[in-house]
Amino acid sequence: MSVRLIESLSTTEPLAEIFSDLSVLQAMLDFEGALARSEAELKIIPPSAARIIARVARAENFDVVSLARETLRAGTPSIPLVKALRKKAQEEDAAAADFVHWGATSQDVSDTALVLLLKKAAAILSADLKRLEAALDSLVIQNKNTVMVGRTLLQPAPPITFGLKAAGWCGAIRRGHARLHAAFSDALILQLGGASGTLAALGNRGDKVRKQVAKRLKLDDPDAPWHTHRDRLAAVVCACGVLVGSIGKMARDISLLMQAEVGELSEPGGSGRGGSSTMPQKRNPIASVIALAASYRVPVLVASFLSEMVQEHERAVGGLQAEWPTVAGVIQSTGVAIASMVEATEGLTVNRKRMRENLEETQGAVYAEKAALLLSRKLGREPAHSLLQQATRPQQLRKGTLSEILAQLPEVQTFFDARALRTLDDPEDYLGLAREFSERLCGRSRTRPPARKK
């Protein structure tokens, strides 16, 4: 399936396919087929009826446009779908039509269909997250000794390694992956409760039917129906929100480091990527743009879903009807953000020479903290701080590096010779635990989310 033009920056082709009309319709029909077969196994409906229902429950047998039009009048897609499914079954056997949707309610169909779609989406998101983590692992290892300017409030700060910066991204992505995996594991459950969530229509065989349907659909069977309790879905949506926020932070860093004035990173280019309609020289941070766009959309969608959780009694008035586009938007935006950062990270160019040059262009001002600690031992904290404020003024640094300026001051010469100040502007001498933190954040020994039980 091709992505609709209006959604071209907010989804990927695999996720667009999952939430396509035919895919959504087939998920609902899969529920109906599994329900019929399970009830036949338990001798609740005739096996012949179950076979016919399962056979005609194919999306290509139905008019999606008509179903969508009728959904607007019915308030739920399940009502026109069940009606159409009965008609299809009746064409094969009039008696079979009576057993379509036996003992279920409309929300059972729509909720289980949504969960089946989420299960497919979870596999795609996890696979892309593993690729992103692997790419970040490599980036950290390759740049564990790549020194660059640290930046606080967008201003130069003591040096760090690019390995540490990338490890920070990696650690956040790993934590986000673990949260999302846990949320999906909790949410991929069957919905089957009947009219009021008691399965009264199935008598004392309701639990057996539930277990059989869950097994057929490869979903977990929860303790009870959850019609108006949306906390599990909310956990998935919120985990996506946190993850996309972490991806957006990464995209923001990359786009800032790609600025021509900085020039420390470059996203991969190629035909039709990163160009401008009017400026041939441009190489825009397109992957970061797409990820950041997702990071703007998703928080609003998360808030929308949370407001939709306040649902009335045993069946919602409006909250349920608001959910499908909200959840679909969150999942697809999360997917396109991850995929964009996979592309950026796997093809990222690190300009180590420019990182070193930007560090040197500070004229040693980024080592003021190091110098303050050194001088405070002899001069006292306040005098040392005042001295360094004077020494790091722009007009002073135009005369030389910080170590050269300090070497000329009498109060410094009294306690330190030129040799003692020589290592002041050596970045490798002021990296603290950068390498250790990198390993802790993104070490290759880190455990990954376990595979979900089938």
Active site (catalytic) residues: 276, 315
Residue/partner pairs of 274-281 with CB below 8 Å, 24 or more apart:
none
10 Å CB burial of residue 9 (0-12, 13-18, 19+) is: middle
Q: Residue 155: helix, strand or coil by DSSP?
A: strand
Alpha-carbon distance 252 to 256, whole Å? 6
In one letter, which amino acid is 48?
S
C-alpha distances in Å from residue 57, one per residue of 62, 81, 106, 387: 9, 10, 16, 81
In one letter, which amino acid is 102?
W
What the block records as the tokens of 373 is: 């600690």
Alpha-carbon distance 341 to 79, whole Å? 41
* Contact assessment for residue 45 and residue 36, using Cβ atoms and an 8 Å cutoff: yes
Q: Helices (H), strands (E): how many in the chain?
A: 20, 4
C-alpha distances in Å from residue 371, one per residue of 125, 149, 374, 414: 47, 17, 5, 15
Which residue in the block uniquely carries the two structure tokens 């040392």? 384
The string of DSSP codes covering 289-356 is HHHHHHHHHHHHHHHHHHHHT---TTS-SSHHHHHHHHHHHHHHHHHHHHHHHHHHHHT-EE-HHHHH
Element at 97 (helix H, strand E): helix 94-97
CA angle 296, 297, 302 (to 5 degrees): 115
* Contact assessment for residue 215 and residue 189, using Cβ atoms and an 8 Å cutoff: no
Which residue in the block uniquely carries the two structure tokens 């990182």? 355
The set of residues, in sequence order, having a beta carbon less than 8 Å from that of 23 and lying 6+ positions away, is 17, 59, 117
Task: Label each residue of 52-70 as H, E or C.
Answer: HHHHHCCHHHCCHHHHHHH
In one letter, which amino acid is 336?
V
Element at 266 (helix H, strand E): strand 265-266
